[in-house]
Every structure is written in structure tokens, then in C-alpha cells.
A and B are shown apart, each in its own frame.
Chain A
């Protein structure tokens, strides 16, 4: 097929559209002036400011804890769900189960947040648990939607690996549990790592659901950022954003390199 000039130019424009705002944000985070758009000299003072803001630091710490916890819960639940969906061809309620696993992927955040909050309030009324809302309720909410993402990632890895390895282990007398830990787990480990990381970043990023299910005194980082940003552009948010973008870029870069090294060439998601 004739290769025209249209596709490369369209792609170049598309990528600059994706990256220009991010790049300009990072550049302006080093701006000395508090007027964010006027360049008045290079400075790292906003980064320093960031580390002297106890509210921001507290929120960041809370968000990191929530993200780690919910990603870990989601890792276990999502992996189990993926095993059930890939390995158990038929069981009663499979359609319902598959639907419940994938629906959170597209459910609008406001509905997820509202529904979980109403559930927590109703449960507190009937069971007396969970008492009030805070970190625990946010973790439960995040673990629920992260489970869906972990499941998708693990599912794709599980469905394209050679089952004869497992069968060989079982033929040699290993119990299903032992086969899982000795054979299956090492093979799907890369998917588990990326599933956990995906859950971690999604939890760290969530504003809407956390706003619904959090309680007084448990503001996550996105909630603090949102309330700052709503009032206008603030240069310390630029610095914070640059740090987060830097960490994420390094993480994705590392993950891509690992995947390219370990995966056969023709595997693509």
C-alpha cells in the first residue's frame, strides 16, 4: 500500500496534543513567579513549598496507604476472579459473575461513589459497621473497582499460557494448590505486578469515588488538589504534578522495558 504523508503528520499532531499541556506544566513548575504564565526565571522554590505544606503531605501519605492497601486486596480478588473466568468454563451464575467483574470498568464514577456511600450508611444503620467513613471505606471502594482492572490484566495472561505445564505438575503428583504456587504463579507474575501497579495508580488518582465515601479528616491527595485547583492555578500544584508525572513516566518506562525483555515479540495487549 502506498504510504502517504497523512498518517505520520496526523500521528505527530496527535502526540503533540497529548504531550504539549503536560510539558508546559512541567516547564512552568520551575517558574519563579507566582503568576503562573509569566516566565520570570528558573527556580525550584515551589518544590520546597510543597514539602512545607502539612495538609498536602498528610493527604499524600493517606493516599499512598490507601492505594497500596486497595491494590493489594484487588490483586488477590482480581486474580481469583480471573482464574475462575478463564479456568472454569461453566458454572452457575457465570454470566452474572463475568458481568459484575467487568461492569466497574465502565461504571460512571459518580454512580459507584454514590451507591457505595449509600451502602455504607445503610450497613451502619443495620449492622453498626463500618462506623463512620474514612480510610477503611475508601479502601473498600477502591479495591472494588481495582479488582476489575486486575482481573482484565491477569485474565489475558492466564488465557495465553501453556496449560500442559500445569498438567505435567499435577501428573507428577503435585496438588492443585501446590501447582498453583509453584507453576502458575511464577508464570503470571508479570501480569500480577502490572495489575497491582495499575490498581495503585488508579486508586491514587481517584477523586470522585473518594469524595463520596470519605469522612471528615480523611481527605485524599486528589481531593486536596481539586479544592486548590478549583480556586485557580496554583504554582505548588504544578510542582506536585511534575513530581507525580516524573514518577509515573519512570515507572511506565521500566515496566515497558521489562515487558519487552521478557515477553515474546508478537504479544501485544
Chain B
């Protein structure tokens, strides 16, 4: 066939697909709908509906039997009756355990987030300013622990911080008495910082690496000291990264269960642990659901903040 041949046969099309497409189009189904339908239905059924179910069951009461909660809807002589129990929510506000657990979760998550930021920011900055050939290796070193089992990393920390663990043995070489670290709030902070550090570093790095170096030069040329350049140029420009990273640490840390139960002591109150105990030990499903609904309300504002910040991180 020469290039001048005017009658190039059109490429053969996949016959069965065309027939299927035409058939579907006839009943009003477009390709778009076919792409959307599976993930949409899956997420509706296994993400959104479950949240509605949690809300529904939080309005029931515990009972013995299967399932271990009173039915929401009962039909009696043809009339459907809806029974709502608010006692779980009333308990949440009146029982000191719950209030204390929420407050202490927020406190622990907030303090840990700030420490993570203080540890992560210099690391992200160093990676962003590192020579090109180093940068990918350093990034890989940040991501590697993220792929390593979360549970096993928390476990590795217990071996590190125990009474006769690595740190105390090291201190012992200098004649320093062992420090009690495990089963304290301190251990929980270390655990959160340790496991969530990559979540902080990656968005920070993404914003920092895009900053225009000429801005720093201009600032320095105009006589600003490095600390001022950092405070008034770098820091404000990296704000979206700071918010995104902080929320990525703060939100999951609030509901954290593994870290407080392996590293924290019996008095380390966190809401994820309370929910777990309410469900597994007390088998009070309605109460656990109410705890979950209240936890969702606590994280909804941070989630919205995160979405806005993520948009800003990606846009730049």
C-alpha cells in the first residue's frame, strides 16, 4: 500500500464491543454510566450506607439476643413504629469517661501532630533542598517505613522503649538509671510521631520543592536574615503543606487504637480504645455506634480543612 492510496480501509473495530455498545445505547445506557456504576454502587453500599447504619443503631438500646440491639422499626398490626433511644447520646455527655476520652484524644492527637510537624518540617525541607540524585533516595527512605507493617513498627518501638530496652541499655552504659517510658502518654506521643511521620513529610515536601528559589535570593538580597526569610517567606508559602500534613496526622491519630493499647498505660484514655472496649468487651453495639458518630463529628472539620489544603497543594 502506498501513501497515496486514497482508499485506506478503516481499521478493523472490535465487533462484539460495538454491538454491545449499540445495544446499550438503545436502552439509554452510555459508556460513562458503565464506568461510574460499579465504583458508585460499591461505595454507596459499603461506605455510605454503613455510616447511616451506625447512626441508626446509635439510636437503639442494648438488649440481649441477636442482634444485640433493639430494633429501630417494629411493625405491629400493620402499623410500622419507629423507636428512637437517645440514652446513648445522653450518656456520652453525662458520663465523665466519654467526655474525658474525647478531650484527651484531641489533646494527645494535637500535641503529637505538633511534634510531628517540628520533626518533619526540617526533614522535608532538607529533602527538598537536597541535590537531585539524593532526593529520590531520601524520598524512598521516607516512604519505605510507610509500606512496612504499621503494627510491626509499633511493636519495634516497644522493644526500643521497654525498661530493659535498647534506649535504657544505652543509657546504662553511661551509668544513667533506666527511665520508665512504656505505658505512659510519652510513649503514645513517640508512637504517633514515629508511625505518622511519612504522612507529614510527603505533603510538606510537595509544597517545599515547588517554591521558587529566586524568592529566597530576593529576600536575602534585600537584607533579610535567613531566619526572617524562613519566617516571612518560606513558612507562609508552605502553609498548604503544613495544613495537609497536620490533618493527615491529626485525623487518624484521634481514632488511633493500636498505639495507645500497645504503648500507652491503663490511664491513657483515647476514644478509639473506648469504642473498641465498648464493642468487644461490653458488647454494647448501640453505645459503640454513638461513640463513633460523635468521633465523626470531631473529625469532620479537620477533614474539610484537609480537602481544601490538598486542593491547594496540588494546584500550585
Residues of A within 8 A of B (CB): 1-4, 6-8, 10-11, 14-15, 17-22, 24-25, 28, 36-37, 76-78, 80-81, 83-84, 88, 91, 93, 97, 100-104, 106, 108-111, 114-116, 118-119, 121-122, 125, 140-141, 143-144, 147, 151, 172-178, 198, 201, 204-205, 207-208, 211-212, 222, 225-226, 229-230, 233, 237-238, 241, 244-245, 248-249, 251-253, 256, 260, 265, 268-269
Q: Which of B75-83, B87-95, B96-104, B137-145 contacts A (4 or more CB under 8 A)?
A: B137-145
User: Is A269 a contact partner of B202 (Cβ separation < 8 A)?
Assistant: yes
User: Is A147 a contact partner of B140 (Cβ separation < 8 A)?
Assistant: no
- State the CA gap A10–B157 with chains docked (Å): 21
Q: Is the interface of B mostly helix, strand, loop or mixed?
A: helix
| B209 CB within 8 Å of chain A | yes
Within 8 A of A (CB), among B112-166: 119-120, 122-123, 125-127, 129, 132, 136, 138-145, 147-153, 155-160, 162, 164-166
Residue from A110, A122, A222, A245 with most neighbouring chain B CB atoms (10 Å) = A110
Within 8 A of A (CB), among B45-72: 45-51, 53-54, 57, 67
User: Is B158 a contact partner of A229 (Cβ separation < 8 A)?
Assistant: yes
Q: A173-B13, A178-B14, A222-B149 are in contact. Are A7 and B122 (CB under 8 A)?
A: yes
CB distance from A148 to the nearest CB of B (A): 9
- State the CA gap A106–B251 with chains docked (Å): 7
User: Is A80 a contact partner of B36 (Cβ separation < 8 A)?
Assistant: yes
Residue of A nearest to B216 (CB): A1
Q: Which residues of A contact B7 (CB under 8 A)?
A: none
- State the CA gap A230–B21 with chains docked (Å): 56
- State the CA gap A124–B91 with chains docked (Å): 29
User: Is A248 a contact partner of B144 (Cβ separation < 8 A)?
Assistant: yes
User: Is B158 a contact partner of A233 (Cβ separation < 8 A)?
Assistant: yes
CB distance from A172 to the nearest CB of B (A): 6
- State the CA gap A198–B143 with chains docked (Å): 11
Q: Which residues of A contact B23 (CB under 8 A)?
A: none
- State the CA gap A169–B262 with chains docked (Å): 56
User: Is A37 a contact partner of B162 (Cβ separation < 8 A)?
Assistant: yes
| B268 CB within 8 Å of chain A | no
User: Is A245 a contact partner of B43 (Cβ separation < 8 A)?
Assistant: no
Residue of B nearest to A182 (CB): B14
User: Is A252 a contact partner of B21 (Cβ separation < 8 A)?
Assistant: no
Can you show 18 pairs from A to B with CB atoms below 8 A apart?
Answer: A3-B129, A7-B122, A19-B145, A37-B166, A77-B38, A83-B35, A116-B50, A118-B285, A119-B53, A141-B46, A143-B42, A172-B11, A173-B11, A173-B13, A177-B31, A225-B151, A248-B144, A252-B140
Q: Which residues of B contact A140 (CB under 8 A)?
A: 46
B295-313 vs A, Cβ < 8 Å mask (1 yes, 0 no): 1100100010011000000
Q: A106-B306, A115-B292 are in contact. Are A21 and B194 (CB under 8 A)?
A: yes
Q: Which residues of B contact A211 (CB under 8 A)?
A: 280
CB distance from A140 to the nearest CB of B (A): 6
Residue of B nearest to A99 (CB): B307
- State the CA gap A89–B251 with chains docked (Å): 29
User: Is A175 a contact partner of B129 (Cβ separation < 8 A)?
Assistant: no
Q: Which residues of A contact B156 (CB under 8 A)?
A: 21-22, 24-25, 241
User: Is A114 a contact partner of B251 (Cβ separation < 8 A)?
Assistant: no
Residue from B120, B147, B206 with most neighbouring chain A CB atoms (10 Å) = B147
Within 8 A of A (CB), among B141-197: 141-145, 147-153, 155-160, 162, 164-166, 169, 194, 197
- State the CA gap A57–B209 with chains docked (Å): 44
CB distance from A73 to the nearest CB of B (A): 8
| B29 CB within 8 Å of chain A | no
User: Is A115 a contact partner of B53 (Cβ separation < 8 A)?
Assistant: yes
Q: Which residues of A contact B258 (CB under 8 A)?
A: 207-208, 226
User: Is B255 a contact partner of A111 (Cβ separation < 8 A)?
Assistant: yes
Residue of A nearest to B120 (CB): A14
User: Is B54 a contact partner of A125 (Cβ separation < 8 A)?
Assistant: no
Q: A24-B160, A114-B292, A144-B42 are in contact. Are A245 and B255 (CB under 8 A)?
A: no
Residue of B nearest to A96 (CB): B48
User: Is A256 a contact partner of B136 (Cβ separation < 8 A)?
Assistant: yes
- State the CA gap A4–B122 with chains docked (Å): 12
| B289 CB within 8 Å of chain A | yes
| B243 CB within 8 Å of chain A | no
State which of B11, B47, B67, B147 has its C-beta within 8 Å of the C-beta of A201: B147
| B10 CB within 8 Å of chain A | yes
Q: Which residues of B contact A212 (CB under 8 A)?
A: 279
